[in-house]
């Protein structure tokens, strides 16, 4: 990845943070991907506003882990994948990173499928046609643009998703904002709600995002030997992560609010079903807005999944992500083409919904490996120096990792 220097603006110091925003938003896209949309629609349509608290809790967990792994990238100047290659035994690092590449393919499978489903909703294209279209578009984005341009595209997509969903909010005449506020912070747990609660919490933290954040955070890094610069980068990273996770929280919450206001108590399990219900309620314009927002989410998250795959694969060779480098490009192609082939192959024997389930199952298996790899690296004085995790941060990280692991094990057991 070719990094750019961000020089401090002495005349407008407040603009420093605005110039730094970007890496967190790249990661936040994984928090508003098609899988999250499906879970949010199910939560809102089945339980109304009562499960909004799940989004609040999962956002806190996600921000904590992403903030920690971003520190690794800033302090070492290397991503999670490169650090694993440098500090673990070769056989162990390769094993872990190969599973991480497979996790990126699994993630990209859900993201590409989301984009293809959106094309089906808007234009009536079959999945077999929409999938290669989205895959080619994603590869073009990643191969023809520098990181700074991709960052602008992602920020644009996130903005369009937010604008489309906010437009839906203003169209809906009967939202119970009091119940929405209550549901955002007061837990509601029942046996019937547990599958959705587990799905929403367990699928929020995704392994490819942990690798990706430690890579893209370096787009704002320069002169690592300068202590003041490291301190400044760490400060801006914190605000960028919090700001980006807040936007992810808002967008996910809005999806649940829309589902609660329009569909509850009629359960929605498919995207096309939600769009079909929107048409008679709010008109074709609202249904198109919904489809466009879903398309932007699918394409944007596919781009970040491809970047993550390229970064992880390049890290196996102790190299940073660079869209012009053969190893990075091969990692991108393995991720995106592998995902497209998986969709087209599985579509012949099962439904789109089942493909999403299978993709999440593998993520559930790999996620604990990535989380505990991160904790090991960021807790090492040899690697992080004086910036290693303090004892209470390490305890909180371990508790978060164990909690997420238990959730994913339960999900895995329930799936089978």
Of the chain, the end-to-end C-alpha distance in Å amounts to 41
pLDDT above 70 for 132: yes
**CA separation for the pair 237, 234 (Å, rounded):** 5
The pLDDT tens digits for 38-56 are 778 888 888 999 999 999 9
Residue 235 makes CB contacts below 8 A (sequence gap 6+) with: none
**Residue 3: per-residue pLDDT:** 41
The pLDDT tens digits for 139-175 are 998 998 666 677 777 777 778 777 877 777 877 878 8
Residue that the structure tokens 């992080």 belong to: 384
For residue 9, name the pLDDT band (cuts at 50, 70, 90).
very low
Residue that the structure tokens 């497979």 belong to: 102
**Residue 6: per-residue pLDDT:** 41
CA nearest to 151, candidates 329, 304, 5: 304
Question: How many helices (H) and strands (E) would you count in the chain?
Answer: 18, 0
Residue 99 makes CB contacts below 8 A (sequence gap 6+) with: 366, 369
| Separation in Å, CA 113 to CA 67, 273, 325 | 29, 16, 27
pLDDT above 90 for 326: yes
**CA separation for the pair 191, 340 (Å, rounded):** 36
**Residue 401: per-residue pLDDT:** 85
Q: For residue 334, give both structure tokens.
A: 């393995």
Please state, as a whole number, how many other Cβ atoms lie within 10 Å of the Cβ of residue 243.
16
Residue 191 makes CB contacts below 8 A (sequence gap 6+) with: none
Higher-pLDDT residue of 236, 389? 389
Residue 277 makes CB contacts below 8 A (sequence gap 6+) with: 262, 263, 266, 268
Question: Does the domain at residues 15-364 carry the CATH identifier 1.20.1740.10?
Answer: yes
Residue that the structure tokens 């969709």 belong to: 343
Task: Provide the percentage of residues in the chain whose pLDDT is more than 90.
Answer: 36
**CA separation for the pair 366, 65 (Å, rounded):** 16
CA nearest to 307, candidates 139, 62, 169, 125: 139
- Give the CB-side neighbour count of residue 66, counting CA atoms within 13 A: 34
């Amino acid at each position: 990845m070719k990094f750019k220097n961000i020089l401090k603006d002495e005349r407008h110091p407040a603009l420093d943070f605005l110039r730094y925003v970007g890496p967190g938003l790249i990661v936040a896209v994984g928090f508003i991907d098609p899988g999250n949309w499906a879970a949010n629609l199910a939560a809102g349509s089945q339980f109304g506003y009562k499960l909004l608290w799940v989004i609040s809790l999962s956002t806190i967990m996600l921000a904590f882990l992403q903030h920690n792994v971003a520190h690794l990238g800033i302090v070492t100047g290397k991503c999670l994948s490169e650090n694993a290659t440098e500090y673990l035994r070769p056989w162990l690092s390769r094993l872990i990173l190969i599973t991480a590449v497979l996790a990126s393919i699994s993630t990209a499978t859900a993201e590409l499928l989301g984009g293809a489903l959106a094309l089906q909703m808007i234009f009536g294209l079959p999945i077999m046609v929409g999938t290669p279209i989205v895959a080619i578009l994603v590869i073009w984005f990643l191969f023809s643009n520098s990181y700074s341009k991709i960052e602008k595209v992602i920020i644009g997509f996130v903005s369009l998703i937010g604008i489309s969903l906010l437009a839906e909010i203003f169209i809906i005449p009967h939202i119970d904002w009091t119940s929405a506020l209550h549901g955002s912070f007061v837990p509601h747990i029942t046996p019937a709600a547990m599958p959705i609660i587990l799905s929403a919490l367990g699928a929020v933290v995704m392994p490819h995002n942990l690798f990706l954040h430690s890579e893209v955070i370096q787009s704002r890094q320069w002169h690592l030997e300068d202590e003041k610069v490291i301190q400044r980068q760490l400060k801006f990273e914190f605000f960028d992560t919090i700001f980006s996770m807040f936007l992810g929280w808002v967008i996910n919450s809005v999806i649940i609010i829309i589902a609660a206001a329009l569909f509850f108590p009629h359960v929605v399990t498919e995207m096309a079903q939600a769009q079909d219900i929107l048409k008679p309620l709010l008109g074709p314009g609202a249904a198109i807005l919904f489809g466009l927002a879903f398309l932007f989410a699918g394409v944007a998250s596919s781009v970040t999944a491809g970047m993550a795959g390229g970064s992880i694969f390049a890290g196996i060779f102790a190299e940073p992500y660079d869209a012009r480098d053969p190893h990075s490009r091969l990692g991108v192609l393995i991720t995106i083409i592998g995902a497209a082939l998986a969709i087209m192959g599985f579509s012949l024997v099962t439904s789109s919904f089942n493909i999403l389930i299978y993709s999440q199952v593998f993520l559930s298996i790999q996620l604990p490996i990535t989380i505990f790899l991160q904790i090991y690296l960021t807790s090492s004085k040899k690697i992080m120096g004086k910036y290693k995790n303090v004892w209470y941060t390490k305890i909180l990280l371990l508790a978060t990792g164990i909690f997420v692991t238990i959730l994913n094990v339960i999900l895995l057991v329930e799936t089978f």
